[in-house]
Amino acid sequence: MSTAVTSRATGSGVAPQRLVLNKLRKIYASRGRESFEAVKSIDLEIAPGELIALLGPSGCGKTTTLRMIAGLETVTSGEILIGERSVGDLPPGKRNVGVGFESYALYPPLTVRENLAYGLRARKVADADARVDEIAKRLDMTELLDQRPAGLSSGQKQRVALARALIRKPPVLLLDEPLGHLDASARQRVRRELKLLQREFGYTTIVVTHDQLEALSLADRMAVMDAGVIQQFGTPDEVFDDPANRFVAEFVGEPAINMFAGEVVRADGGLAVRVGDGVLETAAVDARLGDTVMVGLRPQDTQVLGDDATGGLGGAVINFEDLLEFGQASVRVRGVEQPLLVQTPPEVDWRPGDTVRFGARPDRVHLFDSRSGERIR
C-alpha cells in the first residue's frame, strides 16, 4: 500500500498527526440480547494531513469506527495511535480530535457565534472572534452568526456543526456525514470549501459518507467498508479501476458496473471469457480454464467495435440515450440475462434494434470468483 500524501506544514495550530488503527474491533453486547460484532479487526494507516473517505452502506460500522477513535465508544480490542501515542487510555477531551457528528448538539441558549467561540474561549485562544468571522465567511454562514440553533434549518445546523469542528484546527478531524442535510447547491459549495480548509490547515481527516461522489471528490484515498470490514483502501482511481472484490466493484461506480457470468477459455497468449457466442480477453491469469466466473465490466470501459470485428460481445440495442459528451446504451447480449450498459463516444448514434459489437481493454475485464466474490487476478 502506498502512502499518497506526505506531511505538510500547517498555517497554525498543532501539526497534523498520522492516525493508525491496529486490529480495531467492536462487539456491542447488550444484556439479554445477542452480541453483535459491528467492527471486525480494522487496520488502517492514514498519513499526516491526508483526507480519507470512509465509504459504505448504512449499518456497516462507519459511525462506530469514528466514535471509537474519538473516545466516545469503548474499544473491544485493538489499538488506536495518534502520532506515536496510543490513545486508548485517554478520555475524548484529551485526544486532540475534532469531531463533527450529527448527534453532537449545539447549545440551544447560545447564538451560533457563541457556539463557535465556546471551545476556543475555554482554551483561551486569543483571536477567537476573528476565527469565528473567518470560518463563517468561508462556509458562507455569516448571516447565521447572531441566530440561535432553534431557528436554523437542518442544513444550517449541519454547517454550524461543521464550522465548530473545523475552527479548533485539531490535528485529527472526524466528520460523520457532514453534508448530508445540505441541499444540492450548498453541498457542492461547502464540499469545495471543506477540501480547501483541510488543505490549508492540514488536518488528518476521516469523512464518513455513503455518497460515492462525495468520497471521490474529497478524498486522497478511500476506505470502502462493508459488514464491519475494510474491503479496500486506495486512491479513488485504484478503487474504481482495480476493485478488490465484487462488493467494491458493485458499490463504487455510477452507473453501476455490469456483472455477468462467463466461462474461462484460452485466448491468443492469455485468457478470455466466453459469454454466449462472444469473447472478452482478460488480463487475469489466475483463472482456471472451463470455470464459470463473474465478469465485471464498467460501462465507461466498453469500446465500440466495427461490424467486421471478430472479438467482443455482440447484441441488440434496447435503448439509447444521447448525453452529449457520450451516449449510454442498454444492449441485449446473447448469454446474458440482464441488458448490459455500454458507454459510447459522442459520434455514435445507435437506435433500438441496431445490431452492435463492443469490447474492452483486457485489463478492464475484471473476473470474480462466482462463490466468494474475491477478485481473480
Ligand X SMILES: Nc1ncnc2c1ncn2[C@@H]1O[C@H](COP(=O)(O)OP(=O)(O)O)[C@@H](O)[C@H]1O
In the complex, the residues that contact ligand X under the rule CB under 6 A are 28, 30, 36, 38, 56, 58-64
Q: How far is the CB of 38 from ligand X (least distance, A)?
A: 4
Residue 102 has, within 13 A of its CA and on its CB side, a CA count of: 13
Cell of 370: 462466482
53's contact among ligand X, Mg ion, none, with CB below 5 to 8 A by partner kind, is none
What element of type H or E holds 312? none
Tally of residues, the chain: 377
**Which residue, 63 or 198, is less far from Mg ion as judged by CB?**
63
104 is in the binding site of which of ligand X, Mg ion, none (Cβ under 5 to 8 A by kind)? none
3-state secondary structure of 62: helix
Q: DSSP secondary structure string, 130-175?
A: HHHHHHHHHTT-GGGTTS-GGGS-HHHHHHHHHHHHHHT--SEEEE
> What secondary structure does DSSP assign to 118-132, as a single string?
HHHHHTT-TTHHHHH
CB of 367 to ligand X, least distance (A): 29
Q: How many CB atoms lie within 10 A of CB 140?
A: 13
Determine how many CB atoms are found less than 10 A away from the CB of residue 263.
17
Query: Using CB distances below 5 to 8 A depending on partner kind, what does residue 246 bind out of Mg ion, ligand X, none?
Result: none
Q: Which does 28 bind (CB under 5 to 8 A by kind): ligand X, Mg ion, none?
A: ligand X
Nearest-angstrom CA–CA distance, 298 and 159: 36
Q: State which residue, 117 or 165, has the beta carbon closest to ligand X.
A: 165
The distance of closest approach from Cβ of residue 58 to Mg ion in the complex, given in angstroms and rounded to an integer, is 7
Contact of 315 with 333, CB cutoff 8 Å: yes
Question: For ligand X, which is the closer residue by CB, 63 or 205?
Answer: 63
Between 66 and 341, name the residue whose CB sits nearer to Mg ion. Answer: 66
Residue number, 62 or 157, with CB nearest to Mg ion? 62
Among 3, 8, 16, which Cα is nearest to 173's? 16
- Residue closer to Mg ion, measured from CB, 38 or 136: 38
Pick between residue 63 and residue 115 the one whose CB is nearest to Mg ion.
Answer: 63
Interaction partner, residue 36 (ligand X, Mg ion, none; CB < 5-8 Å by kind)? ligand X
Sequence-distant (6+) residues with CB within 8 A of 68 are: 24, 26, 39, 74, 75, 80
Nearer to ligand X, 36 or 104 (CB): 36
**Residue 83 binds which one of ligand X, Mg ion, none, with CB within 5 to 8 A depending on kind?**
none
Of ligand X, Mg ion, none, which one sits near residue 64, judging by CB under 5 to 8 A according to partner kind? Answer: ligand X
Least Cα distance to 72 among 94, 55, 49, 42 occurs for 94
CB of 103 to Mg ion, least distance (A): 10
CB 70 within 8 A of CB 238: no
Shortest distance (Å) from residue 296 CB to ligand X: 24
Cβ–Cβ < 8 Å for 336, 242: no
Closer to Mg ion by CB, 56 or 253: give it: 56
Q: How far is the CB of 164 from ligand X (least distance, A)?
A: 21
Rounded to a whole number of angstroms, the minimum distance from the CB of residue 207 to Mg ion is 12
The contact set with Mg ion (CB under 5 A) reads 62-63
* Minimum gap (Å) between residue 230 Cβ and Mg ion: 15
CA distance 302 to 343: 6
Task: Select from Mg ion, ligand X, none the partner in contact with residue 2, using the beta carbon and a kind-dependent cut-off of 5 to 8 Å.
Answer: none
Give the type of residue at 201: F
Q: Least separation, in Å, of the C-beta of 250 and ligand X? A: 17
**145: region left, alpha or beta (phi > 0 left; psi from -120 to 50 alpha):** alpha
Q: Strand, coil or helix: what is 185? A: helix
Residue 188 interacts with, from ligand X, Mg ion, none (CB under 5-8 Å by kind): none
45's grid cell: 494507516
